[in-house]
Amino acid sequence: MARTLQEAEELIKLYEQNGAAKLYYALNRKMNEMADMLNKQNLSTLDVEEKSKTFDRLKVIWNDAADIADGVKSLGLLAGVTNDEAKDIARKPFIETIADSRR
């Protein structure tokens, strides 16, 4: 099935965004959600002897937290994040590079 011009333009817009910056902000929001989950739980009230899915899920979060944070930090550096989400995502990361390489 052929795409309309509008559909094609919407697809092109996705490629013109700074995907790395967009991913950085999405992962940063998920890290905040993970922190909120950890903060909502009081470990002293969890029965660790009982097979608790909550405790198992919390362990997964805190076991991987440092690796996730390091990855997000690296992604932010790679993407040139400035803490202005709209501008960072709108910045077209490869267009200037391609234009410079053709000179």
Give the model confidence (pLDDT) of 30-74 as tens digits.
Answer: 999 999 999 999 988 887 777 778 888 888 999 999 999 999 999
pLDDT at 72: 96
Would you place residue 96 in the very low, low, confident or very high pLDDT band (cuts 50, 70, 90)? low
| Contact partners, residue 85, CB within 8 Å, separation at least 6 | 21, 25
pLDDT at 87: 94
pLDDT at 100: 52
Q: What is the pLDDT of residues 3-23, one digit of tens each?
A: 898 998 888 777 778 889 999
Would you state the structure tokens that stand for residue 45, as one six-digit string?
Answer: 């009230």
Interval 74-85 mean pLDDT = 94
Cα–Cα distances (Å) from 31 to 19, 26, 62, 96, in that order, read 18, 9, 11, 31
